Structure 1
Amino acid sequence: MSNIISTIDFNSTTTCNQSNPTHQTHPHNPMDTTTAGKPSNGHRLVFLPLPYQGHVSPMLQLANILHSKGFSITILHTLFNSPNPTNYPHFTFLPIPGTGDELHSLIDLKNILRLLNYINADLVDPIRVCLNRLMLEEDGVACLITDVHWFGTQSVADDLILPRIVHRTSNISSFRSFVAPVLLRDKGSVRGCDEEVKSEASVSRLEPLKDKDLPKFLPNDPEGKYKILELTVKGIKQARALIWNTFKELEEHELEALSQDFPNPHFLIGPFHKFFPASSSSLLTQDQESLSWLDKHPPNSVLYVSFGSLVRVEESQFLEIAWGLANSKQPFLWVVRPGSVEGSEWLECLPDGFLERIVEGRGYIVKWAPQQDVLAHPATGGFWTHSGWNSTLESICEGVPMICSPSFGDQLLNARYVSDVWKIGVKLENGFERGEIQSAIKKVMADEEGLEFRNKIVNIKGKVNFCLKKGGSSYSSLEDLVNYILSF
């Protein structure tokens, strides 16, 4: 995966012990603990993100939000896929020693079970050393905020008598499907515990979820997956509270259902990215020229295509995507991440004549785009997405209807909600097939049904704007979260 996710390694001025000398250093690090982020309320929060782009970004956004409320912020992170400290001069960064090469070898999604076992077993003691040192400093530590997948840190928090809050980077709806195997087995049901179920049957108590929508992470080791899920659920239930990057108006019913199994306090304070201008938490270099290209197109005319930072496709699928876009005759901005096509570095396997066919400005291909800015651009009229939660939420916030091509995990449920519940887009039910792709693009970008999608998602966008204002649900929930942390 090294050719997919860029790494930024550095030696912070604050470390648990000597950093690995093989990692590249920055010539200047502004994260000096003597000046960084002195709080007005005297409380320091320590954040521990999972080293994936889709997990790092919302965690840093959350840290920014709480810093604006007067908290001092320390980011405890792995050396692999570490955030760039120069983008956050108001934070202190603390690398966990020995978390570079080993994580690099496990970061591929095919190794997700090994990775989760590794970080929650081998890294527990190094994390304990880091937290113990921080607690002995003048500011101490008021609270540890971790990604839910760091369930092993609950034992550390308990030993140190340190409150732990978890942040789930997906939404409530998909989280219910994520933990479904454990909850269903606890209730004596086997449905949903088997891997690769393709049935159209609904899952009891999880409607409109279908059997085929259940997350499929580890098809070769269902018992291993179940054990990880069981430990994750246990770690969440033992945490003080959960923080969600979503808002009440979108998932109120899902929250009521979830609270039956997870009675912890829940704080819905999203969308995180709307609290501040588009952030620079991307681990990949963004092509800013894509915005200039969009400037040349009329409103709602361009389809934006991006499948996130992890999804990989076969060459045959890539060709179907290419011809589906070309045959649609719709202007498109297409993100093709280097290494995202099996057996190809970048665009080598494009069909002969394809680039000539999209000349004269109808198509533009980039390696990575400033997604929030692209979605907010007036020319963007649709988003063909992998349905990761960050992308889905960003599209909702800008009122852009979606075409969904989910691959794994929460993407499956997000796509189902987009198409069947919120009715703000379509899901490609048959994978990547050029005829279905062309039809979906026409439906979203040109047909009457696409106008209905747009009207519904613009209505939800209005609710987003309201929830963030004083008296709104997310505004009030954030105030409750701040008071909750200050009560520790």
Structure 2
Amino acid sequence: MARDEENEKQLHIVMFPWLAFGHMIPYLELAKLIAQKGHKVTFISTPRNINRLPKLPQNLTTLLKYVNLPLPRVDNLPENVEATTDVTYDVVPYLKKAFDLLQQPFAQFLESSNADWVLFDFIPFWVPSVASKLGIKTAFYSIFPAPLMGFLGSPLCLMGNDPIRTQPENFTVPPPWVPFPSTVAFRYFEIMRISDVLSDNASGISDKYRFGAAIQNCDFVAVRGCTDFQPEWFQVLRNIYQKPVLPVGQLPTTGFAGGEDNDAWRWMKEWLAKQARGRVVYVAFGSEAKPSQEEVREIALGLEKTELPFFWVLRTRRGTSDTEELRLPEGFEVRTKERGVVWTSWAPQLKIIGHESVGGFLTHSGWTSVVEAVEKEKPLVLLTFLADQGINARVVEEKKMGYSVPRNELDGSFTSDAVAESVRLVMVEEEGRVYRENIKKVKHFFVNEERQERYVDELLSHLRSH
């Protein structure tokens, strides 16, 4: 084929993210950018998730399509559960088990799809073996940034041949393959809370192994992030993977059709407009994390002690089978009703933090939340719970974009005083000015249309030429 024809060729790319909204949304952002370039994208998930995802922009509906694969039933997985947000943490392995049973329906879809490439997540590590039989190439697309992937190590380490990290506590120091000084490592309580990812779970396969097999068996690795922001970490990945590693940009959340001016947002906007500029602390911990009852108590009392207005998005339960409903301390809502809101259903995060009255963001350090905070220039107060959040928090601390609430190293406990002092430091104290200034300085690494376009063009060029 002539070079020009090769460049003109319309690709068909299949996207297959894990069943967590923190994964599906960055996959969808990249899907939109690829479709905008005139390529066909099929986004595969389960029916209930597709109903909950944002409606697609009208101008892309001919190129970007949702495809449903019904989730098989497995024991111990409650009815109507199709995403991590629907269940407590201990039930997620059964969701992985059900997801693994999509292997055959996924293969059947691919057979009739005329797909050129599949971009897949780490949980369905089996995608390359399915796709290669059909002559379809694959890329593991990591929504986790380069520091986490670099910290985790090579595919062989991840698949069980790691002589260095035999105990969870070995994950509290940077590994020897990181050739520069770094604080990027888990704290003891962070790795202990997720130590189950290191061993086989009820799905029969550890997350660690899934990561390793996904990297080992794909044609190349695409990573959410920007080489100008973290060039040294992308170099680590190229060294340890021994295959191409392409950045796809930070993928800031963009607008979707619908939901622009519903009643809830109108009410929130009115409430925010009554607050002083830069004084509201926004509090949210994503769709995955659920604080303990004790943690909720200390967060609540800490917010009260800040004497600042706050808007707290608190999920009191994870799905209908969650029997432990979180409660606020007695009298808290009465005492703070003049200056605080506790919102217990979905909230338009990007709109809220974009409001001029919001001056800081108390967050779990999920990378999408970090990207949104940078986009809206809001400094971060960090309170990690699960997954990659500890590693993300170290990156944010190193770059002085935010400050972590002081905690007990062994069990991760913290006090209401620590919450209050951290929030006030980042938002109002002179000593915390560095966080308020640095969040603005890094913005061009996160929100830059020209750079984002370039990453997508380079990705498509790689997909076409291979």
TM-score of the pair, normalised by structure 1? 0.79
CA gap of 1:288–1:486, structure 2 versus 1, over 3 A, is farther
Aligned residue number for residue 51 of structure 1: 19
Give SS of 1:144's match.
Answer: strand
Check conservation: 1:178, 1:409, Cα contact below 8 A: no
Task: Quote how far apart the aligned CAs of 1:333 are.
Answer: 0.7
Residues 364 and 402 (structure 1 numbering): CA distance in 2 closer, same or farther, change over 3 Å? Answer: same
Structure 2 match to 1:435: 417
The gaps in structure 2 that reach 5 residues or longer are 1-7, 408-412
State the AA in 1 paired with 2:220: A
- Alignment partner, residue 438 of structure 2: 456
> Within the alignment, does 1:333 sit opposite 2:311 as a pair?
yes
Change (3 A) 1:476 1:106: closer
SS at match of 2:129: helix
Query: Which of 78, 86, 91 is the matching residue for 2:46?
Result: 78
Distance 1:234 1:315, change over 3 A: closer
- One-letter amino acid of the counterpart of residue 446, structure 2: V
Name the structure 2 match of 1:468: 449
Q: How far apart in 2 are the matches of 1:246 and 1:394?
A: 14
User: Could you tell me which residue of structure 2 aligns to residue 7 of structure 1?
Assistant: none
Matched, 1:42 2:20: no
2-side partners of 1:65 and 1:417: how far apart?
26
SS of the residue corresponding to residue 93 of structure 1 reads strand
Name the amino acid aligned to 2:38.
Answer: G
CA pair 148-105 structure 1, distance change in 2 beyond 3 A: closer
- Please give the secondary structure, in 2, of the residue aligned with 1:273: coil
Which residue in 2 is equivalent to 1:370? 348
Q: How big is the shift at 1:114?
A: 4.4
Q: What is the identity, as a one-letter code, of the residue corresponding to 1:303? A: V
**89-98 or 454-463: bigger deviation:** 89-98
Contact 1:315/1:343 (<8 A) preserved: no
User: Does 1:260 pair with 2:239?
Assistant: yes
Pick which of 323-332 and 235-244 moved more: 235-244
> How far 1:457 moved relative to its partner?
1.1
Matches within 5 A, 1:383-402: 383-402=361-380
Q: Distance in 1 between matches of 2:340 and 2:245?
A: 43
Letter aligned with residue 41 of structure 2: I
Q: Deviations over 1:155-179 (max 9, x none)?
A: 1111111011221112111222344
- Distance across 2 between alignment mates of 1:71 and 1:355: 51
Residue by residue over 1:448-479, the C-alpha shift from the partner in whole angstroms, topping out at 9 and shown as x without a partner, is 232111111100013434x432xx3x332221
Change (3 A) 1:194 1:118: farther
Structure 1 residues 443 and 83: CA distance shift in structure 2, 3 A = same
Distance 1:217 1:177 in 2: 17
Q: CA deviation at 1:319?
A: 1.2
Choose which of 173, 176, 184 in structure 2 pairs with 1:204: 176
Asked whether 1:324 is paired with 2:302, we answer yes
Whole-angstrom CA distance in 2 between matches of 1:51 and 1:189: 32
Instruction: Using the TM superposition, give the Cα deviation of residue 188 of structure 1 relative to its aligned residue in structure 2, in angstroms.
Output: 5.7
The residue aligned with 1:126 is: 105
- Whether the aligned pair in 2 keeps the contact of 1:60 and 1:281 (CA below 8 Å) is no
**Residue identity opposite 1:364 in structure 2:** V
Residue 269 of structure 1 deviates from its aligned partner by 2.7
Cα drift, residue 228 of structure 1: 4.0
Equivalent positions of 1:32-181 (< 5 A) are: 41-84=9-52, 87-88=55-56, 90=61, 91-99=64-72, 104=81, 107=84, 108=87, 109-120=89-100, 122-134=101-113, 140-179=114-153
Change (3 A) 1:318 1:181: farther
Would the aligned equivalents of 2:197 and 2:207 in 1 still touch at CA under 8 Å?
no
Call closer, same or farther: CA 1:123–1:286 in 2, change over 3 Å: farther
Instruction: Determine if contact 1:288/1:369 at 8 Å carries over to the other structure.
Output: no
Shift, 1:220, TM fit: 5.3
- For 1:224, which of 200, 213, 221 is the aligned residue? 200
- Of residues 429-438 and 77-86 in structure 1, the stretch that sits farther from structure 2 once superposed is 77-86
- Cα offset for 1:44? 1.9
Residue 434 of structure 2 aligns to which amino acid in structure 1? E
Alignment length (residue pairs): 430
Q: 5+ unaligned residues in a row in structure 1: which ranges? A: 1-39, 135-139
Equivalent residue number for residue 17 of structure 1: none
Q: 1:299 to 1:244 in 2, by over 3 A?
A: farther
Contact 1:286 1:370 in 2 (8 A): no
Please give the residue correspondences for 1:348-367 in structure 2 after superposition, counting only pairs within 5 Å.
349-360=327-338, 362-367=339-344
Asked if the contact 1:77/1:94 (under 8 Å) is kept, the reply is yes
Asked if the contact 1:170–1:410 (Cα under 8 Å) also holds between the matched residues in 2, the reply is: yes
Tell me which residue corresponds to 1:8. none
SS in 2 for 1:82: helix
Q: How far, CA to CA, are the matches of 1:46 and 1:185 in structure 2?
A: 26
RMSD over aligned Cα, in angstroms?
3.1
Deviation of 1:261 after TM superposition, in Å, equals: 0.8
Q: How far is 1:224 from its partner?
A: 1.8
CA distance in structure 2 between the partners assigned to 1:182 and 1:435 by the alignment:
44
Q: Report the more deviating stretch, 243-252 or 94-103.
A: 94-103
The CA deviation at 1:307 is 0.6
Q: Kindly indicate whether the alpha-carbon contact (under 8 Å) linking 1:385 and 1:391 is maintained by their aligned counterparts in 2.
A: yes
Give the 3 Å change call, closer, same or farther, for CA 179–216 of structure 1 in structure 2.
farther
Tell me if the contact between 1:182 and 1:230 (Cα under 8 Å) persists in the aligned partners.
no
Q: Residue 233 of structure 1: SS of its match in structure 2?
A: helix
- Counterpart CA distance in 2 for 1:218 and 1:85 is 27
Partners of 1:303 and 1:383 within 8 A in 2: yes
Checking the alignment, whether the CA contact within 8 Å between 1:80 and 1:100 is kept in structure 2 is no
**Partner residue, 2:280:** 302
Task: Please tell me whether the aligned partners of residues 216 and 408 of structure 1 are also in contact (alpha carbons under 8 angstroms).
Answer: no
Inter-CA distance 233–451: structure 2 relative to 1 (3 Å threshold): same
Deviates more, 1:422-431 or 1:81-90: 81-90
Q: Give, in angstroms, the shift of residue 344 of structure 1.
A: 5.1
Corresponding residue to 1:291 among 248, 262, 269: 269
Amino acid of the residue matched to residue 455 of structure 1? E
Kept in 1, the 8 Å contact 2:249–2:455? The answer is no
Per the alignment, in what secondary structure is the counterpart of residue 288 of structure 2? coil
* Residue 425 of structure 1: aligned partner: 402
Mapped contact 2:120–2:138 kept (Cα < 8 A): yes
The CA deviation at 1:187 is 7.5
